[in-house]
Chains A and B, each alone.
Chain A
Amino acid sequence: MATVFSKPKALTDAPLHYCPGCTHGIIHRLVAEAIDDLGILGKTVGVAPVGCAVMAYDYFSCDMVEAAHGRAPAVATGLKRAMPDRIIFTYQGDGDLASIGMAETVHAATRNENITVIFVNNAIYGMTGGQMAPTSLPGQVTQTSPYGRDVKTVGYPIRVCELLSALDAPEYIERVAVNNVKNVLNAKRAIKKAFQNQIEGKGFSLIEVVSSCPTNWGMTPQKALDWVESDMIPYYPLGVYRDKSAKEGKE
């Protein structure tokens, strides 16, 4: 018998510290599968965020850098400018990328920095125990929005793909989800493309992965995935928001 599915080489043997049913594990694996499939493990350098994925440096078997909160795109810019022939990716959550690191994100995008950004949107700050994120939904109850996110006082969630699509520069922006098998397989395709773009020197590719946080949402893992379908995806529509090469007929 042939093995048709096993742990990718771009992941180390370290057991993941994530809560049961946390989709960070799925997204880590998809990134690792893309690295394996493209044969770039030996030349890839990843940048870990601050947040639940802070210890991603222990999980990916490529060289890794731990960045300060929100600064991963700036660190990745430094890495890529220093080593243009290496493949540089960041792995960031919603607080990291869309709150404290928004400036770094927007400016790396507008420079069309030739990096790959994996953006995990689970609408909450997980590591610190479930506070309101820039992507928490209107009315969403969190530790710091105990009466539900009141858009009149704290504003509306930020749709990162739509926002970045207003820029001229970025090469590729897509939103995917990991709430069922079909969406996971589609997310795998998107993430691989985001790496392929970098190999081809096309520039900034960002994949937003709509994901779940069973622990801080107070749901079972499966219920959390159901909530992704019923509540998250309607607010964060899946799809390709920017594909410069396809538009310009470069492909």
Chain B
Amino acid sequence: MAKVLMKGNEAIAEAAIRSGCRHYFGYPITPQTEVAAYMAKRMPKIGGTFLQAESEISAINMVYGVSSAGLRVMTSSSSPGVSLKQEGISYLAGSDLPALIVNVQRGGPGLGGIQPSQSDYFQATKGGGHGDYHLIVLAPASVQEMADLTAKAFDLSDKYRMPAMLLADGTIGQMMEPVELPEKMSEGGFEKPWAVTGTENKREHNIINSLYLVPEQLEDKNLERYERYKVVEQNEVMYEEYMTDDADVVVVAFGIAARVSKNAITAARAKGIKAGLIRPITLWPFPKEAIAKAAERAKGFISVELSMGQMIDDIRLAEGCKKPVTLCNRVGGMIPSPDEVLKAIEDMEGGAF
């Protein structure tokens, strides 16, 4: 299959269309606006809906409407906009509705900046809005993965009736790389008997709802949801391991931080340091077992992040606080350089942490 050169943000949009998504709602915000612009061009030509909503809040609620009707639907934004969407995301989770939310992260908090960041990790992986819930969170590290994980996110979201988030960052959103896009990227075909498509006077009315005033019922709904989350944790963990077999120093990084880390690991190996990388592809469910296994022989871990130490908590929980875990990070739109990561690897190898 021929490869085409595409921007990361555009790859998301095209992959969504090739996964059967025909409804997109968004609101302009840097650095993800290309997703909306691409959809604005493409959707009218294929009988789909592109609508620029009056706010991110409206956009996510339009998503809620389409999802209630049983169709594939997405929205995209960047950090401040995703904060606004949290209300709607909580309602999607509470109503067991599938949907794709793309967050091309920028620096924060507040208005922050427009350069890349990973500082929405907690928000994405721990729930984000109110109530007990999780999203399936996928973290692409290349333009190809922007496309592939978009398709994967739609499938997982439909399969488990839970919203999914593609947690990218400004670098991968803006970067251009060759990408392969099959005509059809998802088979779809998920039955949605719960959808509100009109009773046609043939069945009882369907209700999409997250309100349960009887506490026993609401508790049951939460417990049922967490049973489903267990299945997701058992079956859907995705990660990449790079030179971890004999690794003394294990770097854990996702997205753009993982790409930088790979260069640092190559440099470390050239210096005779046995370094390796675990790259979580699903941030929730987090690859706990892979990290626990690596902890059996590694000297320690380094969390390389574009945030102030967020994923590092999950690494510590996964390795059981048996080994040292250090943080190598830059924030505010800065990215750690391979040399900075190499330094962190050397420090760990030399026991200086």
Contacts and interface: CB of A to CB of B under 8 A. Distances in A.
Interface in A67-90: 67-68, 71, 74-83, 86
B217 interface: no
Interface of B: 23, 25, 49, 51, 53-55, 57-59, 61-71, 73, 87-88, 91, 95, 196-202, 205-211
A61 to B, nearest CB: 5
Given A42-B201, A103-B54, 10 more contacts: A42-B202, A44-B198, A57-B207, A65-B196, A68-B64, A71-B57, A74-B59, A79-B69, A80-B65, A104-B58
Contacts of B87: 68
Complex A-B, nearest 8 residue pairs according to Cβ-Cβ distance, in ascending order = A78-B65, A74-B61, A63-B196, A82-B69, A78-B62, A107-B54, A71-B61, A42-B201
Interface string A111-143: 000000000000000000000000000000000
B205 A78 contact: no
A63 B197 contact: yes
B205 A62 contact: yes
Nearest to B200: A42
A55 B55 CA distance: 27
Contact of B198 (A42, A103, A107): A42
A43 interface: yes
A43 B200 contact: yes
B71 A107 contact: no
Residue in A44, A71, A106 with the greatest tally of chain B CB atoms within 10 Å: A71
Given A41-B199, A44-B198, A63-B207, A78 B54 contact: no
A60 interface: yes
B342 to A, nearest CB: 48
A82 B198 CA distance: 12
Interface in A188-224: none
A66 interface: yes
B64 A67 contact: yes
Binding site secondary structure of chain A: helix
A81 B66 contact: yes
Contact of B206 (A55, A63, A80): A63
Interface residues of A, number: 36
A117 B34 CA distance: 34
A82 B23 contact: yes
A26 interface: no
A103 B55 contact: yes
A80 B196 CA distance: 11
Residue in A47, A65, A86 with the greatest tally of chain B CB atoms within 10 Å: A65
A110 to B, nearest CB: 9
A66 B65 CA distance: 10
B197 A86 contact: yes
Contact of B66 (A54, A66, A82, A107): A82
Residue in A66, A80, A86 with the greatest tally of chain B CB atoms within 10 Å: A66
Given A74-B58, A81-B49, A103-B55, A63 B199 contact: yes
A34 interface: no
A80 B62 CA distance: 10
10 contacts: A42-B201, A57-B209, A63-B199, A68-B64, A71-B58, A74-B64, A75-B65, A78-B25, A78-B61, A107-B53
